[in-house]
Amino acid sequence: MNTKVSADCLVEWWRSLTDPQKDAFADDPAKVSALLLERVKKIAASIFVNPLSDQEAIALLVQGKKYSPEQAEVIVKPWRKYAASLGYAGPVVWKVRQGFTLKTHAPLAGPCYKDLAYLQSWNFPDKPTEDSLVFWVPRFAEQSTNKSIGQMEAHRATLLKAHNLPTSHCDRFGSIGLQFALILAHHKRTGERVPLNYLYAASDTLDAGGRRLIAGLFDQGGLSCSSWRGSRGSDGVGFFLLGVEKLGQPAPKAGE
């Protein structure tokens, strides 16, 4: 979904204005520019997830984690290969900013079912995101449905080795807030609604009753949040592989 503003789009916008609106623009274009600048600042403040190219990700791993360029490339390359095995050619690394929460920010980031009004009273730790590089492919890990949480975790470890992913990655499903942040960022970029086939993705967030929050059923009504006991497998629940590199923390030393 291309969000670039074309010349034709601008012409069409100008034609849609009334004569008094055009006169107001011509009378004080600097004021209009100032209003647009304020809007740009508000939009920037609301963006918590940005997709990165592989080279941008390598540069940030070097800059933010103090990896060598060679170490950083070794981290990114297996994720690109993993994405290719799933038929996906888009970004595999996402720069996540601190502070995104499910209840407050998700309804502002993209289409959510009933703007998530139904879960505002739910009792669960709405953990904010942290400044990090998140390795995430918007495709379910192969054969990840019809598994209990324990089976998912075991399968996750198997897939990490099978795809030769970094050993410090794939140790979590991610908080429900992070799941929503990533899914909605991907939707904003492409218009695609994942998980595909209206499935749900498991998160690490548990409610007060011990049920696991899940993100999915992303139809025209928006991305939904539900809960799942997790003790038995379901053909409607799977998981994404996920790797997290927290920014501001040095890279682990060899052997750690």
Residues 63, 31 within the same domain: no
Shared domain for 31 and 143, answered yes or no, is no
d(CA 160, CA 155): 9
Domain containing residue 18: 7-45
Q: How confident is the model at residue 2 (pLDDT cuts 50, 70, 90)?
A: very low
Q: Among 60-64, 172-176, 243-247, 251-255, which stretch is predicted with the lowest mean pLDDT?
A: 251-255
Tokens 């670039």 locate to 4
Angle between helices 29-46 and 102-109 (to 10 degrees): 130
Angle made by CA atoms 138, 206, 156, in degrees to the nearest 5: 45
Least confident of 8-12, 80-84, 106-110: 8-12
Number of domains in the chain: 2
Q: Are residues 192 and 223 in the same domain?
A: yes
In whole angstroms, what is the distance from residue 201 CA to residue 217 CA? 9
Report if residue 225 sits inside a domain.
yes
In a domain, residue 2? The reply is no
What are the strands of the beta sheet with 237-238, ordered from one edge? 222-228, 212-219, 200-206, 237-238
Query: What's at 47, amino acid-wise?
Result: I
Let me know whether 208 and 144 are in one domain: yes
- 181 within domain boundaries: yes
Residue 124 has pLDDT above 70, yes or no: yes
Does the pLDDT at position 1 exceed 50?
A: no
Do the domain assignments include residue 252? no
- State the chain's mean pLDDT as an integer: 91
* Integer Cα distance of 154 and 142 in angstroms: 13
